[in-house]
Amino acid sequence: MNKSNWKASKERSTPFALHLICWLALNISRGFARFWLYPITLYFFITSSKVRSASKNYFKRLNLPGGHGYTQVLKHIYYFSSVILDRVYFITGRTEQFNIKIYNENLVANYSRENLGFILLGSHVGGFDVLQYLTSKYGQAKIMMDVSHNSMITDILYSLNPVMFNAIIDANSDNVLLKIKESLDESRFVAILADRNISNQKKVNLSLLGDEISIAKFPFTIAHVLKKPVVVFFGIYKGGNEYEIHFKKLRGDFGGDRASREVDIETDIQLYMEYVQEMIKTHPFNWFNFYDYWGDE
């Protein structure tokens, strides 16, 4: 079980380095900025035993033909670094240089056309900010996140587009449920990363890649409390300038009574994790939980 607290994973960069890579990306070219991903990847590979261990443990569980050696770990870190760099472009709306394929877009298109607020559940599989590619169609999503974690990189990246700050719902605030309800009542959609255990929230234990993990119950519960549709989202990095956006239906109606709600929530959580497992088996280098996710250490 993932007893290890992901919040203990410290930011390992500096404001100067982050500002520099953002400046290079926006003022020179993506190709030039991507050149620096090679030394960055090597730096994290050499200096972070926790990152190496987490990556190797993940690939052991996947049991892929390529094994779980240093080549896989290096590529894994490189994919993560690439997605972090591309956040600069998605946040600032500079998406014309990407080739993005969208699967099952009709799910969100229908909810938006009907002016239905809905919940979009993401994960640390692929890039979350690729969602900004769809802002022109469906408006700016409200994003529930723990602003205290990785606050430096979040502050620097989102400062590139101040509108993003206004879109954040702090997961630690006392009135988080009210803020989510207000957004949904305004026919907006609220995006939540749902694949981690949050210490001050109720959790659910289930299986991923053959072993037990735990994730927060709250993101799934609020959909049933507010009776709003739920769609699962993945922004998969394919390499180069290629991305895929996948939408998968989780729940569209809430016909059960209060007594059956707990069973329905458990069913939703299980289906969500099945989607996650399916996606990481298809796109293994898009798993971006670089800590002891299963609590093996």
Residue 95 lies in a domain: yes
7 located within any domain: no
Whether 229 maps to a domain, the answer reads yes
Measured CA distances, 69 to 203, 211, 290 (Å): 33, 21, 16
Give the residue numbers spanning the domain of 152.
Answer: 12-286
Residue 225 included in any domain = yes
Give the separation between CA 31 and CA 248, rounded to whole angstroms.
Answer: 32
Instruction: Specify if 133 maps to a domain.
Output: yes
The verdict on residue 297 lying in a domain is no
Cross-strand bridge partners of residue 192 = 121, 144
pLDDT, tens only, 226-263: 999 999 999 999 999 999 999 999 988 887 677 788 88
Evaluate whether 239 touches 286 at the Cβ level (below 8 Å): no
Backbone angle region of 296, left / alpha / beta, with phi > 0 → left and psi within -120 to 50 → alpha = alpha
pLDDT score recorded for residue 236: 98
pTM of this prediction?
0.90
Cα 288 to its chain centre, rounded Å, is 8
For residues 22 and 243, which has the higher predicted lDDT (pLDDT)?
A: 243
Task: Kindly indicate the confidence band of residue 160, based on its pLDDT and cuts at 50, 70 and 90.
Answer: confident
139 band by pLDDT with thresholds 50, 70 and 90: confident
Number of domains the chain is built from: 1
Q: What is the mean pLDDT of residues 275-285?
A: 96
Query: Which residue did the predictor score with more confidence, 140 or 193?
Result: 193
pLDDT of residue 174: 80
88 assigned to some structural domain: yes
**64 lies in some domain:** yes
Distance CA 163, CA 288 (A): 26
Q: Calculate the alpha carbon distances from 194 to 43, 46, 90, 123 in Å.
A: 29, 30, 21, 6
